[in-house]
Structure 1
């Protein structure tokens, strides 16, 4: 929820004062301007709060939205206002028994709109276990990074943008979709390489000091496809790992754990497509004790 509300471009979808003003809204990363009124974001604190100033016909002052995560599927949101109101708003407050009663319905409806938008844009998803297959060899340039899980998408997008600009400047040819190689991952943080595949021979690629380059050979992996918001990636990883445990394959913890970003849309996260590759080892061939020279060999088959 924090990422959605912190993105001012989303406010036109849920904030009541913007209803019916779609043609007159101007939004950038820190301002929303509508019908001569202005909302300015002053600061944001990840998964905690967002601070604003609001100047419009009825209110002029400071505002803080507080977001508290209950679990990975639920958040609690509250809105504090501190400032001056117009005479009209004061009069309405007098008639309705207090300022809270004047603003409460708009704020409650805005919160309900957030819930509906998140349900539509972020929570709907599907996970497909595609099966065990060979992940083809790739040559790539990359930026090494580490970050909290909540900042991961923002950071790897910044890295991929920088790599894309570098590739364009050096006239290199991109050879597939951007991806991430995880060096380590847990619930709190990731260490990873943000990568873009290229067709160039590795030795011919000249990079700057902020980048690295490499190549991995083809390897066996379980491929899983997530369609929907990246907020559901933990569920996709969990289902993939469980499917390996139920099969006769074994997870290869020395191998490469990769996410490939096939399709990515900030406006419509439900249309995102992400491929996950978890390295595995082939089933072990078990030989039955030989009763005679014609005794067959039994091979354990994949059960996924």
Structure 2
């Protein structure tokens, strides 16, 4: 009996000691991981803001592909929510709600884990910070909260502490997110729309010669010069910017091209002005539309040329082919949503009935 009393006494001491240890142990945590992602902040934010996208890059998805996910009626913005349920111990059951949103900058959420030892609530936060390099975003994913007494006891017997476990999960999630966003921006489609008449009109322009692979690089500064001239002289755009390819030497990989912005009427420019005014006559052309990054223009031209050959269309001997940029990359950050219209002038008699 005395031995039993001593054992009970020792067990009591251990329990009291453990209670004191875990009760006084700091349970607060704030874990965050960051990653530089080669994408505009708006593109990354637009993916993260909608819970329906999380299954594509969430690190828990591969732990249990059979996780049951239930979405609320609203899945993005303040008040959005979803819940999940899994038999996998590392996934478990829980729910999340978005409580604050600053578009393209911040998302704050509340997460609840339903565990056998009770519900656990924490704060989740996202930050999307632009970097010094245009088009690259510092994405931060974090979680903070306070562990309950039982959670502190439970985590004491796990391989990784809570902070380490969260850190690993967020690192993997951000890597997956980067891959998803990168693939999303690569998407493109090409559609040969057929023969159409382009009405033409007046336009402000400047012209230069360049290597074929340097056109995009030079285009931005050229259009900026034209835009600045028009602003200084109170000239209003009458359409979207476009490029005219005056002369192409594919053998040597060079081109003479003009960057242009439409205006409503003929403008007389002073002598020596770097920006001039031109006019395009109405022209019959094969129209092809590219939706996607400008890097995919070669594929669009290849498809257009294939269509011309198949339909026995003859390229116009003097009219120049041109591209119209229907979207402004400054307003549409995702390259997958950029729209470019390609016009290849043809001899009318060669058009099919």
Higher strand residue share: 1
Q: Distance in 2 between matches of 1:151 and 1:267?
A: 21
Offset at residue 155 of structure 1 (A): 1.6
Q: Give 1:48-67 correspondences, 5 Å limit.
A: none
Change (3 A) 1:11 1:142: same
Offset at residue 245 of structure 1 (A): 1.2
Offset at residue 166 of structure 1 (A): 0.8
Task: Give the structure-2-normalised TM-score.
Answer: 0.50
Change (3 A) 1:209 1:6: farther
Change (3 A) 1:259 1:116: same
Q: 191, 201, 206: which one pairs with 1:143? A: 206
Listed one character per residue, the Cα deviations across residues 34-66 of structure 1 (whole Å, up to 9, x for unaligned) are: 99xxxxxxxxxxxxxxxxxxxxxxxxxxxxxxx
Q: 2:79 is matched with which residue?
A: none
Moved more, 247-256 or 269-278: 247-256
Offset at residue 213 of structure 1 (A): 2.3
Question: SS at the partner of 1:250?
Answer: coil
Change (3 A) 1:230 1:207: farther
Tell me which structure has the larger Cα radius of gyration.
2
Q: Give 1:8-87 correspondences, 5 Å limit.
A: 23=127, 25-29=129-133
Kept after mapping to 1: 8 A contact 2:41/2:128? no
Q: 177, 180, 187: which one pairs with 1:116? A: 180
Give unmatched runs, 5+ long, in structure 2.
1-35, 46-123, 141-169
Q: Distance in 1 between matches of 2:37 and 2:272?
A: 36
The question of 1:273 aligning with 2:334 is answered no
Offset at residue 234 of structure 1 (A): 0.7
Number of equivalenced pairs: 215
Q: Distance in 1 between matches of 2:310 and 2:237?
A: 37
Q: 1:200 is matched with which residue?
A: 265
Question: SS at the partner of 2:127?
Answer: helix
Listed one character per residue, the Cα deviations across residues 148-177 of structure 1 (whole Å, up to 9, x for unaligned) are: 344322321211122111101101122111
The question of 1:157 aligning with 2:220 is answered yes
Q: Distance in 1 between matches of 2:306 and 2:209?
A: 26
